[in-house]
Amino acid sequence: MVSPVRRCSRTACGRPAVATLTYVYADSTAVLGPLATYAEPHCYDLCADHSERLTAPRGWEVVRLTDGSAPAHPSGDDLEALANAVREAARPHDRGTGAAGVGRQADPMEVARRGHLRVLRSPES
């Protein structure tokens, strides 16, 4: 019986494959990308360790394609923007006057407000 998990193509390595290696001989390029949908005869499946340590022959170029479905690691800017948005949503809003001293017009459909949530009057009433 054949295992449904594809294994690394390297000799004596039985770890699960996570990437597929393809050689483009005309361009002297080794292309390492996400695991192919199905096994190709002239492609090599590699585990995480072997795909990270992959080197190409002298004069060849290695092109590493990233998988778009993998979650991106958030940067410091992303986390700071998220924190600022949460702080802004939690900040109580002044119902009286705005920063310039101009009265804020209330929505005639709004009955009550709590934080960023609003209770609206039914259009029929």
- Looking at the chain, how many residues does it have? 125
At residue 47, what are phi and psi to the nearest 5 degrees?
A: -75, 175
- Rounded distance, CA 10 to CA 47, Å? 9
* pLDDT of 81 strictly over 70: yes
- Report residue 82 as tokens: 């998220």
Mean pLDDT of 97-124: 63
| pTM exceeds 0.95 | no
What does the pLDDT look like over 14-62, one tens digit per residue? 899 999 999 999 999 999 999 988 888 889 999 999 999 999 889 999 9
- The answer, yes or no, to whether residue 6 has pLDDT greater than 80, is yes
Helix residue spans in 1-125 (DSSP H):
48-52, 76-90
Q: Is pLDDT above 70 for 13?
A: yes
Among residues 74, 62, 76, 69, the alpha carbon closest in space to that of 37 is found at: 69
Q: Where are the extended beta strands (E) located within 25-74?
A: 29-34, 43-46, 61-64
Residue 62 vs residue 113, higher pLDDT = 62
Contact call for residues 12 and 47 (beta carbons, < 8 A): no
Report pLDDT for 99.
Answer: 46
69 has pLDDT over 60: no
* Cα 64 to Cα 60: distance, rounded to the nearest angstrom: 13
